[in-house]
Homo-oligomer: A and B are copies of this chain.
C-alpha cells in the first residue's frame, strides 16, 4: 500500500503558508506482530500546531523539518496483527497528517461512537466541546438573564460556548473578525448579536449591545480585545481565560501579554480564571452526554466546516489561521470501509 503524508518542509516565517508543508508518498511497511493499520477518515488541524512548528522554547514538543505534522483525527482500523484491536474499530485522538498510520497500541486514543457523526469527536464531542462545557458551565457558571460575551465567537469553541450560554438562558454577544462571520454567528447559531472587532466603532457597538453590562467574558483570544470588554463588567463578573489565539500570531511565545484590569478586578470583585482542557479530561464522557442530548434536541448545532481531500490539509490549516472559516475546520479524507 502506498500512502501519503504531510511533513514540515521549512519553518514558517511568521504565520504558516502552504509552501511550508510538503506532501510526500511512500510505501507502507509490513505490519509487525502486535501492530495495526489505521486509515484516517478525517483530521482536524488546530491552532496549537503553530507553536510546534517554531524553533525555540517549545522545541522539545516541536516538529522537526521533514517530520510529519500532528493533529487530532478519526481513523478506522483496516488491518491488524494485534489481538486486542479488531478491524473496523473506530478511534480518535492524536494522529499524524497521514492517510494511514501504523500503531502498536490504542493508548491515548478513544473509541468513536458509530451512531454519531464521525466528525463529532473532532469538535462538539471532543476537546472543543469539553472546553466550552467546562469553561462556561463549570468555571463561569452562567445564570439565566446574565449577559455573556464570547470572543472568537465563530471559532470551534466559541460557537459552542455561545450556544450553551443561550441554552442556559443568557443574552449572548459574540465578538469575531469580519461582518460576514458576525452575521452567520447570529443567523445560523442563534446568538443575540455579534460584533466585528476590526470595526472602528467596535468598543461603542459592544457597549450598546450589552445595555445591562457584562457578567461573563469567555475569552478565546487574549490581546487587545479585552480592553473593550473589561470596562463593561458588572460586579461579580467572571472572566474565563480559555485561549490565546492572539498570542499564536506573535513570534515570541514567551511574551506574557497582560492588560490593565487590576483595578477593575478589585472594585468589580471579578473572578478571572484560566483553565486548560487537559486538566478536565475525566469529564469528557459527562460532557459528551450533555452536549449530544442538546444536539439531538435541536438546540446545539455542530460547529463544523468541512474541507474535502487529504492533500488540502495545509490549505485548510492556513485558511483557518487566517480566520476564513466558521466553526471547527475538519478535513474529510475517507469514509469507513467496515461500518
Interface check A257, CB cutoff 8 A: yes
Total identical chains: 2
Cβ of A334 to closest chain B Cβ, rounded Å: 36
A247 to B265, CA, bound (A): 14
Known contacts A244-B263, A263-B257, A272 near B269 by CB under 8 Å: no
A271-301: CB near B (< 8 Å → 1, else 0) gives: 1111110010000000000000000000000
* CB neighbours of A257 from chain B (8 A): 260, 262-263
Interchain CB contact under 8 A, A274 and B279: no
Which among A244, A260, A265, A274 has the greatest number of chain B C-beta atoms within 10 A?
Answer: A274
Known contacts A269-B275, A271-B271, A271-B273, A256 near B264 by CB under 8 Å: yes
Known contacts A257-B260, A260-B258, A276 near B265 by CB under 8 Å: no
What are the 9 closest A-B residue pairs judged by CB atoms, nearest first? Answer: A258-B260, A266-B274, A265-B274, A272-B272, A256-B260, A256-B263, A271-B273, A241-B266, A258-B262
Known contacts A244-B266, A258-B258, A272-B273, then 7 further A-B pairs from the complex at CB < 8 Å, ordered by chain A residue: A222-B263, A242-B266, A244-B262, A256-B260, A265-B272, A267-B274, A272-B272
